[in-house]
Homo-oligomer: A and B are copies of this chain.
Amino acid sequence: GARPARRRLSVDRRREELIAAALELFSRHDAEDVSIDDVATAAGASRALVYHYFGGKQELYVAALRSAAKELEARLRPQEGGNPLDELSRGLARYFDFVEEHAAGFAALLRGGPANRAGEIGEIVDGVRQRLFRLVMNRLRVGVPGPVLRITLRSWIASVETAGLDWLEHRDIDRPELERLLMDHMVALLEVAARRDQDAEHLLESPRRGTDRVTPDDQ
């Protein structure tokens, strides 16, 4: 017969607890420095249990990464009501909150360093970038972008990721300044796109922006 609901819930919950413990460790340390034993200890579980749920460290890492990707997506879910660029700015702040909280793991994963990027991992990373792209398009109320706007938005997303890595490495610019810089980049890139693409032009017209087209920086 079917497994009793209560038992299934505790199996899922235990698995989630192990993933949460693994994610916490992978976020703060190089994956090479995290062992199955470390995860077991952090979760108050036995080694055998961790191996029971996950074939090995690679599978555990992949599960933790999927969990992190889901968490990021949930935190970036749009909160309606504001002009598109303000919403994007708030999303950017939440993205950097996430980056800060998972700093070591983020850097290890995206720098292309020792972290194994084979198959599944690369697909998860690509999946996150695609979802970020759709989130940005939603916030900017873009339906199907033409090539210029598509390249522009994907470029900006890649540059946000790179800026995050640079910031984690150097920490010589504070977060509000970094976020303002990246938003100014977005506006500047949209202005370039607007000369070639009508959708981008509409994005920059008030009242969508809630401000004049030429905006002095907040210094």
The contact size tier of chain A is 35 or more
Question: What residue of chain B has the Cβ atom nearest to residue A117's Cβ?
Answer: B117
Instruction: Report A124 CB to chain B, min CB distance, Å.
Output: 9
Assess whether A41 is interfacial by the CB under 8 Å rule: no
The reply to whether B119 and A123 contact each other, CB–CB distance below 8 Å, is: no
B-side contacts of A34, CB under 8 Å: none
Q: A112-B121, A112-B122 provided; 9 other pairs, C-beta below 8 A?
A: A113-B123, A114-B122, A116-B116, A147-B172, A147-B173, A154-B166, A155-B163, A157-B162, A185-B192
Which residue numbers of A lie inside 8 Å of B, CB to CB? Answer: 111-119, 121-123, 125-126, 147-148, 150-152, 154-159, 161-163, 166-167, 170, 172-173, 178, 181, 184-185, 188-189, 191-193, 195-196, 217
